[in-house]
Amino acid sequence: MSEISGAIGIIGGTGLTTLAGLEITGTRTVETPWGAPSSELTEGRLDGQPVVFLSRHGNPHRIPPHEVNYRANLKALYDAGVRTVVGVNAVGGIHPDMGPACVVIPEQIIDYTWGRPSTFFEGSLEGNLDKVTHIDFTWPYDQAARDILAQAATAHNVSFAGFGVYGATQGPRLETAAEIRRMERDGCDLVGMTGMPEAALAAELGMRYVCLGLVVNWAAGKSDHIITMEEIEAAIEQGMSGVRHILEASMADLGALTALPQPS
């Protein structure tokens, strides 16, 4: 696969390819040693910056969170030349300041998932990293990239929370109220199903990774009603404009960051 030097990878929904000023230059279907990624790669330029989009749940949306081929997704982006990834995630709000339509740039993650292939360091499969390495994962989200997203949000008057702990659950069902109370005691501010192992796999490949979360509902037990798809869809419609503004405004700075030496 030919590389696009300095490209920014964006993993999220298909709607992100409607960013203002985005010029789509092509699409391609790829394979990796771990199989096919969730979708074809959509390549383009945004504000002059090369970008590569990947739809995490497929196009159309069909792959549940626990069945996403996270290894193939990250390796496909890496092979395409991506070294900085923005993961756009729909999440539930636990913290009282993180209600529906709130944009969040979290700083930490707790992994509650199980059974998902979650490392490149295993077995003898062609393409696996050549030796077991216990990567440092103290700070799962790249701080310089977080700062850029936060500055873009501030510059464009997008209300956001620049902190938070993302609790990654297995899915595809939503959580019980008791599970959310436990997660809150653990220190989680957000709950979602796609944050891991995506962030850890990016770290294994030496990629910068940052999460841009959109709260689409209050977590279980945090409101006086059950969670409905109508509520989620309304929050997505309301909040996605902020997500798009942040992405549109941050591409040039993320591109400059990508050009710097990668963290060791």
- Judge whether residue 248 has pLDDT over 60: yes
Residues 6+ apart with CB under 8 A from 239: 100, 101, 102, 103, 214, 215, 216
What are the structural domains of the chain? Answer: 8-258 (3.40.50.1580)
Segment 185-205 mean pLDDT: 97
Cα–Cα distance for residue pair 77/79, rounded to 1 Å? 5
What are the CA-CA distances from residue 112 to residues 6, 31, 117, 168, 201 (Å)?
Answer: 33, 29, 14, 6, 16
CB count within 10 Å of CB 133 equals: 11
Q: What is the pLDDT of residue 6?
A: 80
Phi, psi dihedrals of residue 212, rounded to the nearest 5° = -120, 100
- Judge whether residue 15 has pLDDT over 70: no
State the amino acid at position 124 in one-letter form.
Answer: S
- Which band of pLDDT confidence, cut at 50, 70 and 90, is reported for residue 201? very high
Residues 6+ apart with CB under 8 A from 162: 105, 146, 150, 153
Q: What is the pLDDT of residue 259?
A: 67
Q: What is the pLDDT of residue 221?
A: 93
Q: What is the pLDDT of residue 173?
A: 94
What are the CA-CA distances from residue 73 to residues 50, 68, 81 (Å)?
Answer: 18, 8, 13
| Helix intervals (H) in the chain | 70-79, 143-155, 177-186, 198-204, 229-258
**How big, in percent rounded to 5, are the helix, strand and coil portions of the chain?**
30, 25, 45
Q: What is the pLDDT of residue 264?
A: 44
- Which band of pLDDT confidence, cut at 50, 70 and 90, is reported for residue 16? confident
Q: Which residue has the higher pLDDT, 234 or 104?
A: 104
Instruction: Find which of 43-57, 166-180, 225-239 is predicted with most confidence, using mean pLDDT.
Output: 166-180
- Judge whether residue 128 has pLDDT over 70: no
